[in-house]
């Protein structure tokens, strides 16, 4: 498994943890990394995902509510909700990640950590969002720095 997948899993776990604690997060992110020890290269990719999701959470959740119109927000499973948060953050705010990459990664996370229908549910919501954003679906707007 690549470092970006591991980083997304870590970001998902952080978001899930924060969600179950009703928005409470550790005072310092280092407390999370003590709980989930990872290589520095994984942290380096996960940290901005975690910080970005947290910073844009109201806007991200508003998108989920809008596009999951037939679902009550709090009735969406915690795993699916947090997978959506991560992917929507990437699609809206990470110009270095093509939207289809974010969608494909989210589907895999949903299949791994969610229920039997999670992959289909996440795909349906994210595909609708992708069609409404104004950027290329299969290429980044900016090239990522060399790693």
pLDDT category of residue 30 using cuts at 50, 70 and 90: confident
Architecture of the domain delimited by 3-132:
Orthogonal Bundle (1.10)
Domains of the chain, by residue range, sit at 3-132
Are the C-beta atoms of 32 and 26 separated by less than 8 Å? yes
Whether pTM exceeds 0.95: no
Give the per-residue pLDDT at 147.
47
Please state whether 75 falls in left (phi above 0), alpha (psi between -120 and 50) or beta.
alpha
Q: What percent of the chain has pLDDT over 70?
A: 90
pLDDT category of residue 89 using cuts at 50, 70 and 90: very high
């Amino acid at each position: 498994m690549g470092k970006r997948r591991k980083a997304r899993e870590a970001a998902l776990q952080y978001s899930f943890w924060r969600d179950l604690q009703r928005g409470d997060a550790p005072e310092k992110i280092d407390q999370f990394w003590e709980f989930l020890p990872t290589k520095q290269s994984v942290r380096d990719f996960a940290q901005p995902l975690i910080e970005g999701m947290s910073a844009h959470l109201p806007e991200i959740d508003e998108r989920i509510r809008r596009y999951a119109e037939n679902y009550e927000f709090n009735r969406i499973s915690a795993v699916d909700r947090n997978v959506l948060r991560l992917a929507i953050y990437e699609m809206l705010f990470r110009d270095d990640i093509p939207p289809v990459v974010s969608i494909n990664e989210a589907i895999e996370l949903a299949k791994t950590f969610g229920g039997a229908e999670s992959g289909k549910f996440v795909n349906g919501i994210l595909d609708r969002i992708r069609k409404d954003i104004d950027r290329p679906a299969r290429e980044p707007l900016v090239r990522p720095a060399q790693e």
